[in-house]
């Protein structure tokens, strides 16, 4: 099983930006956590991050020939990117959206995710461990197909 984790804008600044919301773990620390936990489950995981919407869309489209599942944290794009929504809908790969913070306990504009509607599930507010829960989720979705 091979999964890709796709991270959108500003995720690379974790551990630096708004620690009261996103915690103090750095982006590199999150990558270590994802790789360690996925290896323990016997799952091959690649991680990609970009601040560019087009790069995220290209990575989603390219995933259809390589990966069994997608975990995506679109960052701010989740609230308005119809293009990312359409890219996720346009491929036949199960996907789970992850948000480190609880977007439903934040500003009104953050409480709407257009991209989540293209995913099988959404995990919000579980901190960086939401990524690990999403790996289990993808594994379960694929097992039941």
Output the CA torsion sign for 37, 23, 101, 27: negative
Respond yes or no: is residue 99 known to be catalytic: yes
Contact yes or no for 114/85 (Cβ under 8 A): yes
Q: Give long-range contacts, CB 8 A cutoff, 24+ apart: 24-28.
A: 25/128
Contact yes or no for 48/11 (Cβ under 8 A): no
- Coil, helix or strand for 2? strand
Respond yes or no: is residue 79 known to be catalytic: no
Select which of 22, 27, 67, 77 is catalytic: 22
Select which of 77, 99, 131, 136 is catalytic: 99
Contact yes or no for 71/96 (Cβ under 8 A): yes
Active site residues: 22, 99
């Amino acid at each position: 099983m091979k999964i890709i984790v796709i991270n959108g804008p500003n995720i690379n600044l974790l551990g630096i930006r708004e620690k009261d919301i996103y915690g103090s773990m750095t982006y590199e620390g999150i990558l270590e956590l994802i790789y360690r936990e996925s290896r323990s489950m016997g799952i091959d995981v690649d991680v990609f991050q970009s601040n560019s919407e087009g790069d995220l869309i290209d990575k989603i489209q390219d995933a259809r020939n390589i990966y069994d599942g997608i975990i995506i944290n679109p960052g701010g794009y989740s609230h308005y990117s119809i293009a990312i929504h359409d890219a996720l809908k346009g491929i036949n790969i199960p996907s789970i959206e992850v948000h480190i913070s609880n977007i439903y306990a934040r500003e009104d504009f953050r409480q709407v995710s257009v991209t989540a509607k293209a995913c099988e599930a959404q995990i919000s507010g579980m901190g960086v461990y939401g990524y690990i829960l999403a790996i289990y989720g993808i594994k379960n979705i694929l097992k039941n197909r």
